[in-house]
Structure 1
Amino acid sequence: MAEVKLRKLVLSTFRLNGFSLIAEACDFLVSQLLPLEASEREEWLDKIIEHVQKLPLASPTINRAQVEQAIHECVRSGQDVTETVLNVISAFEVPRFRFNPERKKFLKVLDSKDAPAPEIFHSPDAKGSLYRDRYTILFQRTSRHELFAPTLLADTDKVARRYTLQPIEYFLSAPDKVTNATVLGLLTELREGCFYLEDPTGTLQLDLSETRYHTGLYIENCYVLVEGWYDDKVFHVEGMGFPPPEASKTSRAYFGNVNTFGGPSAASLRSSTKLIKYEKENEDEMIVFLSDVWLDNFKVVSKLRTLFQGYSEFPPVAFVLMGNFLSAEYGALRSQMLKSKLSALGDIICEFPELAQKSKFIFIPGPTDPAAPKILPRPPIPKTITDDFQKKVPTSIFATNPCRIQYCTQEIVVIREDLVTKMCRNTIHFPTSGEIAEHFAKTILCQAHLAPMPLAVCPVYWAFDTALQLYPLPDLVVTGDQFCAFSTCYMDCQVVNPGSFPKSEFSFKVYIPALRQMEDSQIAKDSDETT
């Protein structure tokens, strides 16, 4: 009798939460709950339902494996061994998610026959998927913004004007002139000097002769919102802007509690009480960022020694050293030269035992470092080059470019690429006011992508484009660029460029996670350098 009542309770509870259990899963769950007291059963059932809701489900029908996984997560809850303080995540291991329009939710893409694991040389359809996935992210985000959401979902008192997004096929089939229209699409130049807008439904020719541009760097192959009127097969653009950004907290509601950033933990670490406590208690922890660390330059190596000496008594959590690690081309001897210079750097770090033991040394390769093509994401520097250094400094990590760093509850994305320079060079409209840093930050965060540029300008491995996505927004984006150093913040996400270490008089950036604050630092000139 007790088993029958429990079975009814299990089935009804799942049904009330929008799920249905197959017979095998129901039998298994009943057998697990039956030994418990009646009061405990309901409590455990609620916990299991909560964890089922966090799973990347393809349908509302729950099988035994999913019930077992939910129970395992329940038992492990609060004592997750994967809650690491610092974790460096490879660009090739970033989890993939796709938006399910029926469930209005992002679901994790699991490797299968229909969705094979990504490869460096993937099938050609990956190139089309790259643009479709970017469009889907921005379209669903824009559709629920207060300017575009249906009247019932938005506060009409706060929004002076409401816009309606139309697909391109709407204009292609329109018999008459269409006014006050808004479209989201990919900006392309299909013919020289003639720009078009593309979305999954078609292509639309644009007239940009009287366009008013909002803040940002507008490059071919970025997604834009255009406002204007359509007549005689041409869309006359009055205003052009980017899809509105979205705060990280809002975005995560459409992912649940799954880990979207990457790393060993199955659940997001943002709400980990253990890590939140650790972060607050360690107010002096810091991460140091340097770019263009030329190990073949005597002055750079000398300044690095000074830097390490200064931090030797108070070791930072990590030193993030970005390439290029050689200042000149050495032809066939390039790999051997870098190996010897890294070995010499290892000797310097070993002079400061406290630093060598307590700090992580994270190396991110630059565009000209061996031995990979200039295509993102870029693999780490080969082990044949780094072996000697890693034996001397076991705490070193040679990462991909870009890479992701999780420190406690914070998410940091680091890339070494001249993104600002390339965007400024390829923009169709160079801004006449405002700081370039602010234009750049708004561009990549609104695009939810590190490099929203033509693949000919910034090549990307099609199947690994996910590694460059910025959705949900991280806490910090660090881009090692030849452009002058800057720090700016947009939508609670800091965007920082430490600048070239040797070209900026040996300046660098220091991030204090407990305060979520980025500080400018510089190594003072030696007495023999002063004039």
Structure 2
Amino acid sequence: ATLPIILHPSQLRPVAYRILSKRHGLNLKSCGLEYLAEFIGKRFGIEWRGAAAEAFLDNVARTWKDQDRGLFMDGPNLRLLVNDIMQQEAKLQKQERETASFSNEDLEFTPETISAAINVNWRDFFKVSGAFEAPALAYNNHRRQVEIRPPVVTANTRFGIPSSTHLKHMFTARYNLVYDRLLRHDVFQSSLFHQAVVSDESSLATSVNVTTNGSHIITAIKNLLGRHGKPFLLFGLLTLGLNGNVWLQDPSGKIELDITSQVVETTTGAYFTAGCLILCEGTYISRPGLDNDLFRVTSIGQPPSEARERGREAYGYLDFYGLHSTPETISGSTSAMTAASNLTLPSTLTRIDKKLERDLVNHEERLIDHKIVFLGGDLFLDQLSFLDAFKKFLQFMRSEFQESASQCAPIAFVIHGSFVSVPVQSNGASTIYKQGFDGLASLLSSFPELTTSSKFVFVPGDNDPWRATLFGGVAGTTYPLKPIPSMFTSRLNRVLTDVVWTSNPTRMLYLSQEIVIFRDQVDERLRRNNINFSPSVSSNIEDDNNDDIRSAEVASKSVFSEENSKSPSEILSPYVQLARKVARTLLDQSHLLPYTLSTKSVSWDHDAALWMTPLPNLLVMADTSAPVSRVTYEGCKVVNCGKFLSRGLGGSRVNWVEYTPSDGKTRERFLLV
């Protein structure tokens, strides 16, 4: 038995802060600290600093957040919570004793018995959630939580015109999501307990950006007034003025950036476009008598990304996209196929069932024969060469799975548009467009082995109907793109047993994994809109004035890895460097289109469909402006399928990427045609 001790709150305070406040973002009141000190002293005795006590505090914090009890932990609620935890522990110990009474020899575990015990049908947890089927999400920066946005009905709602109220909050939500993610980063964590006990000598900080305990402070733009010549660290939205000058904007105001001096990009291998959120360090320059002040930039950087697990923990393991919903929990659905394409929008977000998720992970690890095929972009059905190439691809896939030992076809084929070589307009071109899909239906009808056992997912491209004119035709189309209209797909629906016509972008949910699928000219658009900070850009320049951003960069730096790399010391090819640059930009921004509306139109009612918060398990891009590539950043795999049919000196070839969910590996493949 443990010998209890009298533990004073002042002794427990540093441990409680480190676990409850710094790790979980909770604030512990004095009455709560007194109760925890009393309980931990009695339960753990002299081992109150040990791993068991820390695990107990961590469990308390997780349970508190799971039950959505708020940010402030007080004594009475903590007492109730701890009592519940102790009762659950007692029940588990009783079950373990009862289980231990059985002999292990009497139990024979086989894959069949394990699957029966888990009682999981993988088809119930394999679905596609389009941008217009997912709940409308909003970010509450006061509660620091994602919520379902209440609908706003206006006179223009029935015409598909989004509400101006949502436009006002679109960029604010993007800012607050990334800003709160920054505050969770270790570099920007400030210790309230540490600040309370520092001496007067150490409290004299020489830099306004660094606190006495080494953390960094982001200053609001409005707080720069009257502080001429002092260094600051800013965070905001990068925008361009009418005369081409660069501005930084946050919810408190905006300021023009002076980038004429030497600027250091501390985030190596990333794009900086108008619409990106950036960290910016420099000196405030007051200019009395002129229209605006300046911020002389010395260094810029991307906001460091956050691993998926840490992001899910920060949001209390909320299920944003119905990852764990089943056909039985979706009203109006009579089959897995119907559930996948007609998800009922919930009124509140539910939390992920941890036990169910563990069962799903164990189950998917055993499904080693499952693979998903992602074809390259642009399958032009109005050109016979593309139909002939697609036929040869289907023949190859049929012969491959028939010759394999498992005799298992891919569980899904994801086919990316555009499905026509020229944009479809409201004229006679729609007839040609429908004939293309009818021809595809005739072709697929010759492969019943694939059409009856695999799911076919069609993702539209820019040329597919209908091109948006809501925003004056800026940048062509407005994202997210709606699914291809049913008037063109009736014959294919009869040929394919399981077909999903989804939006662009879309999400594929496979058991415990989230896969984001995006068809766009990502690399081309980023390169075209990249802002070059002149006259010199270098990540190797030593500058004493960029310590704040450099610290964030070093602390958050994750190892990029290529699954087919041969040696860490091997010089990376330009294609790999390009893939890294695109992946880092999108994942650091946590958004698929980090641009202003003048660069790329986004329907502000559905901007949340473009979020990547938390990061997905896999991001699949069909970017025909860049070659096929595979990289991993912060645990998120990023693959580009490239073009469906590429032509070169060696002839024409069909490109696709295969993904095996059981081990999380991707594989580039091609077929000469």
TM-score range relative to shorter protein: 0.7 to 0.9
- In the aligned structure 2, how far is the partner of 1:116 from the partner of 1:247? 42
Instruction: Specify the alignment match of 1:268 in structure 2.
Output: 352
Output aligned runs, 1:369-388, within 5 Å. Answer: 369-373=464-468, 374-388=477-491
Say if 2:287 is the partner of 1:203.
Answer: no
The amino acid that maps onto 1:519 is: R
- In the aligned structure 1, how far is the partner of 2:71 from the partner of 2:316? 15
Contact 2:424-2:465 at 8 Å conserved across structures: no
CA distance 1:110–1:191, change in 2 (3 Å): closer
Instruction: Specify the alignment match of 2:264 in structure 1.
Output: 212
Say if 2:216 is the partner of 1:131.
Answer: no
Contact 1:449-1:470 at 8 Å conserved across structures: yes
Say if 2:599 is the partner of 1:457.
Answer: yes
Question: What is the SS of the residue equivalent to 2:597?
Answer: coil
Question: What is the SS of the residue equivalent to 2:428?
Answer: helix
- In the aligned structure 2, how far is the partner of 1:455 from the partner of 1:197? 16
Contact 2:420-2:433 at 8 Å conserved across structures: yes
Contact 1:93-1:262 at 8 Å conserved across structures: no
Say if 2:496 is the partner of 1:408.
Answer: no
Match of 1:325 among 401, 405, 419: 419
The amino acid that maps onto 1:187 is: L
Contact 2:152-2:163 at 8 Å conserved across structures: no
Contact 1:177-1:229 at 8 Å conserved across structures: yes
Say if 2:228 is the partner of 1:176.
Answer: yes
- In the aligned structure 2, how far is the partner of 1:510 from the partner of 1:289? 6
- In the aligned structure 1, how far is the partner of 2:63 from the partner of 2:430? 49
Instruction: Specify the alignment match of 1:499 in structure 2.
Output: 642
- In the aligned structure 2, how far is the partner of 1:473 from the partner of 1:107? 14
Match of 2:319 among 259, 266, 291: 259
- In the aligned structure 2, how far is the partner of 1:80 from the partner of 1:106? 30
CA distance 1:356–1:466, change in 2 (3 Å): same
Say if 2:616 is the partner of 1:474.
Answer: yes
Aligned residues between the structures: 455
The amino acid that maps onto 1:167 is: A
Deviates more, 1:381-390 or 1:281-290: 281-290
Contact 2:423-2:465 at 8 Å conserved across structures: no
Contact 1:207-1:234 at 8 Å conserved across structures: yes
- Deviation of 1:302 after TM superposition, in Å, equals 1.8
- Deviation of 1:344 after TM superposition, in Å, equals 2.0
Deviates more, 1:507-516 or 1:119-128: 119-128
- In the aligned structure 2, how far is the partner of 1:369 from the partner of 1:360? 21
Instruction: Specify the alignment match of 2:492 in structure 1.
Output: 389
Give me the TM-score of the superposition, normalised by structure 2.
Answer: 0.62
The amino acid that maps onto 2:440 is: L
- In the aligned structure 2, how far is the partner of 1:302 from the partner of 1:124? 47
| Identical columns (%) | 28
The amino acid that maps onto 1:462 is: W
CA distance 1:454–1:143, change in 2 (3 Å): same
CA distance 1:451–1:330, change in 2 (3 Å): closer
Question: What is the SS of the residue equivalent to 2:493?
Answer: helix
Question: What is the SS of the residue equivalent to 1:325?
Answer: coil
- In the aligned structure 2, how far is the partner of 1:283 from the partner of 1:415? 26
- Deviation of 1:59 after TM superposition, in Å, equals 11
Question: What is the SS of the residue equivalent to 1:296?
Answer: coil
Cα RMSD of the aligned pairs, angstroms, is 3.3
Question: What is the SS of the residue equivalent to 1:92?
Answer: coil
Match of 2:662 among 508, 514, 518: 514
Query: Is the radius of gyration larger for structure 1 or structure 2?
Result: 2
Question: What is the SS of the residue equivalent to 1:405?
Answer: strand
CA distance 1:153–1:277, change in 2 (3 Å): farther
Q: CA-to-partner distance for each residue in 1:206-241, whole Å, 9 max, x for gaps? A: 111221123210001111000111122211111111
CA distance 1:474–1:115, change in 2 (3 Å): farther
Say if 2:221 is the partner of 1:221.
Answer: no
Say if 2:379 is the partner of 1:293.
Answer: yes
Question: What is the SS of the residue equivalent to 1:340?
Answer: helix
Contact 1:511-1:518 at 8 Å conserved across structures: yes
- In the aligned structure 2, how far is the partner of 1:129 from the partner of 1:468? 15
Contact 2:424-2:467 at 8 Å conserved across structures: no
- In the aligned structure 2, how far is the partner of 1:251 from the partner of 1:153? 25
- Deviation of 1:326 after TM superposition, in Å, equals 1.3
Structure showing the higher strand proportion among its residues = 1
- In the aligned structure 1, how far is the partner of 2:178 from the partner of 2:359? 34
Q: CA-to-partner distance for each residue in 1:170-216, whole Å, 9 max, x for gaps? A: 11x2343212x111001111232311110010111111122112321
Instruction: Specify the alignment match of 2:569 in structure 1.
Output: none
Question: What is the SS of the residue equivalent to 1:420?
Answer: helix
Question: What is the SS of the residue equivalent to 1:443?
Answer: helix
Give me the TM-score of the superposition, normalised by structure 1.
Answer: 0.78
CA distance 1:337–1:498, change in 2 (3 Å): same
